[in-house]
Amino acid sequence: MYNKALWDKAVAFHGHECPGLTIGYRASLYAIELLKLDFSEDEQVVCISENDACGVDAIQVILGCSVGKGNLLFHMAGKQAFSFYNRKTGKSVRLVLKRNGDMSREESFEYYHNCSNEEMFEVKDTTIEVPERAKIFESYVCDSCGETTGENWIRLRGDQKLCTDCCNIYDRFHV
């Protein structure tokens, strides 16, 4: 359950030890166990995190999920919940942190390091389909600011190609 080398690596990346980092650390190890995962060199492993808190740093270090690779995505719901996908097997799992009561930061840290996986997380079916692999888009120069922008972010206004910063979005509710 505890791997000192992985924990030390996660702490070094995150910058300090904390209960939040422990949540992501334990979720990663549990996902490895449940889905037979390895470190993701490309997009074999996908994580959809429902928060942008400390635990996400451990997931990056342990599972190799990252925003840049396209296999770490955020579905912001403010929950300590993580969906993990194994593209090789097609299996997935959603791990939701169980409430541990009113504990101090120190008590939470100790509890999260010593409780069982089953005490810490509720194992559920994933509710979001595994996302498609990341795409590489063509780039265009914005006709207004001159900065290069991916084609999926370009907006057409007349004969101009505009980035989202330069394009005034028409919205009758927020004039």
- In tens, the pLDDT along 19-41 reads 999 999 999 999 999 999 999 99
Q: Burial level of 30, CB count in 10 A (0-12/13-18/19+)?
A: buried
Beta bridge partners of 48: 73, 83
Domains of the chain, residue spans: 4-124, 135-175
CATH code: domain 135-175 is 3.30.60
pLDDT at 171 over 90: no
- In tens, the pLDDT along 43-79 reads 999 999 999 999 999 999 999 999 999 999 999 999 9
Cβ proximity of 108 and 80 under 8 Å: no
Give the per-residue pLDDT at 135: 86
Side-chain-facing half-sphere of 18: CA atoms under 13 Å: 13
Side-chain-facing half-sphere of 111: CA atoms under 13 Å: 18
DSSP helix/strand/coil, 25:
helix
Give the per-residue pLDDT at 1: 62
- In tens, the pLDDT along 106-148 reads 999 999 999 999 999 999 999 999 888 888 899 999 999 999 9
One-letter amino acid for residue 65 of the chain: C
* Cα 79 to Cα 82: distance, rounded to the nearest angstrom: 9
CATH class given for the domain over 4-124: alpha beta
The number of angstroms, rounded, from the C-alpha of 104 to the middle of its chain's C-alpha atoms is: 26
One-letter amino acid for residue 68 of the chain: G
* Nearest alpha-carbon partner for 134 in 114, 116, 152, 146: 152
Q: How would you classify the pairing of strands 72-74 and 45-49?
A: parallel
- In tens, the pLDDT along 6-23 reads 999 999 999 999 999 999
